[in-house]
Amino acid sequence: MKILVVNAGSSSLKYQLFDMTTHEVIAKGNCDRIGVDGELTHALTGKDKIKKKINMPTHAQAVNVLIDTLTNKEYGCISDMSEISAVGHRIVHGGPWLIDSVLVDDKVLADLEKCLDLAPLHTKPHLLGIKGCINAMPGTPQVLVMDTAFHQTMPPEAYTYPIDYDVAQRHNIRRYGFHGTSHRYVSGKALEYLGNPNAKIVTCHLGNGSSISAVKSGKCMDTSMGFTPLEGVIMGSRCGAIDPAVVPFVMEKENIPVEEMGNWMNKKCGFLGVSGISSDLREIEDAVHAGHERATLAYNILAYQIKKYIGSYTAAMNGLDCIVFTAGIGENNMDIRRMSLENMEYFGIKLDLEKNNVRGPKDTIEISAPDSKVKVLIIPTNEELVIASDTMAIVNKTK
């Protein structure tokens, strides 16, 4: 069975085609600069990447480019789109309406439209991508897999913000959490590795956007991102959690209007804002090693905040069996892993510094010392495989 995974963003449509008998990626690529000029990047596994300028004024046209590419005689991989059994769409925000991965029908599309209010920047391109796929591949099942879904098991004390209850109810304001497919994937892998289905795990998804989750017996108990992906630890250019009073204060002092303040918090803060260098931690890493003071401060903030989340989630779960690091920073940055777990022997956490000295392992590796009570793992995340697997399961169930 072949499953196509689509991730539609505001000006891009990323895709991966999976062979679900082997769980291997056959082809992947990106229709980028939609609505600007259009650029296709495409590669078959094991072959060279191709890059082409192709006009893509809309997401619907990007879907057509994707179909032409996959069926192209020279660099495609299928003869006909009927070879694709289903399409799985990555959805950032399912709101309180879309809770589990689901087959698209009119009711599901109406529920997704309700999310426009909560996450307009993500939901709008998602809808365009889905509708483009429905039009171009009528009869092919379309499945939605939500980034918020895994966090739906949080108890009310974890997801309720202490604001006016009626206002919160009226506007569906609560902690939703994000990166759910990643937290679900790596915590599932960790449970398998530990051989303990009831393990208490803290999963640290540290990338350009970062979130940390407390997972007990495979269920999410709490997570650091909130109503939007802005809450939690310091990120590339996002501020993470700050005193909410800072926001109107900065608006007043810096004369920033409401419509620009979101941009300020999302694009001008985080590593970029603190270091003044970059939102990319690789550049911060180089500057830290060269002795740059503000880069070091950004680094230290991240490590300190990760440590605090691990401590508080250990308290919330009444114990800890395992810490997982994943995503760009979690899988590649040994400094951040080391610094965030330093001086945590009290919690039974002891890193093996030599094993920690690794970038980008291909599969799960253990980096804790043999006598560490808490196991520390690096697990490469694979959100696309989760989306493809959910899509296959739903399609098989409806057969």
Active site residues: 147
Q: How far is the CB of 230 from ligand AMP (least distance, A)?
A: 15
Selected range binding ligand AMP among 49-57, 104-112, 328-336, 388-396, rule: CB under 6 A: 328-336
Considering only 11, 140, 208, 364, the residue that binds ligand AMP (CB under 6 A) is 208
Instruction: Pick one of 181, 187, 333, 391: the residue that binds ligand AMP (CB under 6 A).
Output: 333
The answer to whether 270 contacts ligand AMP (rule: CB under 6 A) is: no
Specify the residue for token string 């760009």: 328
Tell me if 236 contacts ligand AMP by CB under 6 A. Answer: yes
Is-contact 141 86, C-beta < 8 A? Answer: yes
Q: How many residues does the chain have?
A: 399
> Residue 215 and residue 115: Cα distance in Å, rounded?
26
Selected binder of ligand AMP within 25, 154, 329, 374 (CB under 6 A): 329
Which two three-digit tokens encode residue 186?
A: 């790596």
C-alpha 121: how far from chain center: 15
Tell the smallest beta-carbon distance from residue 396 to ligand AMP (Å).
Answer: 30
Q: Residue 281 interacts with ligand AMP (CB under 6 A)?
A: yes
Residues 350 to 379 in contact with ligand AMP, rule: CB under 6 A:
359-360
Structure tokens at 59: 């997401």
Round to whole Å and give the CA distance between 64 and 74.
Answer: 17
Facing residues of 365 across strands?
378
Q: What Å distances lie between residue 169 and 99, 108, 113, 182, 296, CA to CA?
A: 17, 21, 19, 28, 41
Is residue 13 a contact partner of residue 30, using CB atoms and an 8 Å limit?
yes
Q: In the complex with ligand AMP, which residue's Cβ is closer, 63 or 385?
A: 385
Question: How far apart, in whole angstroms, are the C-alpha atoms of residue 207 and residue 230?
Answer: 13
DSSP reduced 3-state for 208: coil
Is residue 280 within the footprint of ligand AMP (CB under 6 A)?
A: yes
Residue 320's closest CA among 311, 328, 329, 332?
Answer: 311
Nearest residue to the partner ligand AMP, using Cβ: 328
Question: Shortest gap between Cβ of 114 and ligand AMP (angstroms)?
Answer: 28
* Minimum gap (Å) between residue 246 Cβ and ligand AMP: 24
Q: Which is nearer to ligand AMP, 260 or 283 (CB)?
A: 283
Which range touches ligand AMP (CB under 6 A), out of 5-13, 125-133, 134-142, 275-283?
Answer: 275-283
Number of residues interacting with ligand AMP: please give it, by CB under 6 A.
Answer: 13
Positions in the binding site for ligand AMP (CB under 6 A): 207-208, 236, 280-282, 327-329, 332-333, 359-360
